[in-house]
Amino acid sequence: MDRKEKEQVIAELHEKLKEFKLAVLAGYSGMDVARITALRVALRKSGSDIHVIKNTLLRIASQGTDFSAMNEHVKGPLALIMTDRDVAEPIKVLVEFAKKNAELEIKAAMLAGKVLSREQVNAVATLPSREVLLSRLLSVLIGVPTGLVSVLSALPRGMVQVLDAYRMKKESAQ
């Protein structure tokens, strides 16, 4: 790669590093091409990209971005996984793939400007997806007014039942 190509790669990567929601550094040494391709396909389906970049280029591109806090983890052969969409799905894909392939080692991740350890990444992978969380929130929000309506309607309903019982008592007495 000549100097112009390196400068272009650095510029493109710098722009991506400014806009990501999730970035994960993973070691991939020992993985064959077929497994890396399978990982690429799975990550693409989840809306994320995987890049294999020289560490020096990654350090240079990360200058002036939040990602520069991850420079201490940039050692050895690494793959950079980034997304600007839902963060739960790519993490789940990576953790599942790492369980099946011991060669893939999640080193660290950055989410919302904070560096996450391997254990924290595994904890995030256990969270439900955004859609599931939104549906749970919606059910809670719907449940509150429904409960309020049933409580408020209990008084008139009780009054109607008392009046109906009184009416039945009067009719049976005649």
pLDDT (tens digit, 9 = 90+) per residue, 8-61?
888 888 888 888 888 888 888 888 888 888 888 888 888 888 888 888 888 888
Is residue 1 pLDDT above 80, yes or no?
A: no
The residue-averaged pLDDT of 126-148 equals 82
Give which of 49, 66, 48, 68 is closest to 58, Cα–Cα: 68
Q: Are residues 102 and 49 in the same domain?
A: yes
Cβ contacts of residue 51 below 8 Å, gap of 6+? Answer: 13, 79, 80, 81, 82
Name the average pLDDT for the chain.
84
Is residue 129 pLDDT above 80, yes or no?
A: no
pLDDT (tens digit, 9 = 90+) per residue, 41-50?
888 888 888 8
| Percentage of the residues of the chain whose pLDDT score is greater than 90 | 0
Q: How far apart are CA 14 and CA 60, in angstroms?
A: 8
Is residue 152 pLDDT above 80, yes or no?
A: yes
Residue 166: both structure tokens together: 């009184």
Q: Are residues 62 and 12 in the same domain?
A: yes
Q: Are residues 119 and 133 in the same domain?
A: no
Q: Are residues 54 and 73 in the same domain?
A: yes
Q: Are residues 79 and 13 in the same domain?
A: yes
What pLDDT was estimated at residue 79? 87
Count of domains for the chain: 2
The number of beta carbons lying within 10 Å of the beta carbon of residue 100 is 9
- What's the distance, CA 117 to chain centroid? 15
What pLDDT was estimated at residue 35? 87
Is residue 132 pLDDT above 80, yes or no?
A: yes
What pLDDT was estimated at residue 158? 84
Q: Are residues 102 and 18 in the same domain?
A: yes
Q: How far apart are CA 21 and CA 10, in angstroms?
A: 19
Which residue bears the tokens 């077929």?
Answer: 34
Q: Are residues 96 and 106 in the same domain?
A: yes
Q: Are residues 121 and 137 in the same domain?
A: no
Residue 116: both structure tokens together: 């996450």
**Domain of residue 141, residue span:** 128-174
Q: Are residues 43 and 92 in the same domain?
A: yes
What pLDDT was estimated at residue 133? 82
Question: Angle at which helices 33-45 and 88-100 pack, to 10 degrees?
Answer: 160
What pLDDT was estimated at residue 5? 85
Q: Are 29 and 77 in contact (CB under 8 A)?
A: yes
Q: Are residues 122 and 63 in the same domain?
A: yes
What pLDDT was estimated at residue 134? 87
Please give the C-alpha separations between residue 36 and each of 40, 93, 117, 148, in angstroms, as whole numbers: 6, 13, 23, 54
Q: Are residues 132 and 119 in the same domain?
A: no
The residue-averaged pLDDT of 64-81 equals 83
pLDDT band with cut points at 50, 70 and 90 for residue 160: confident
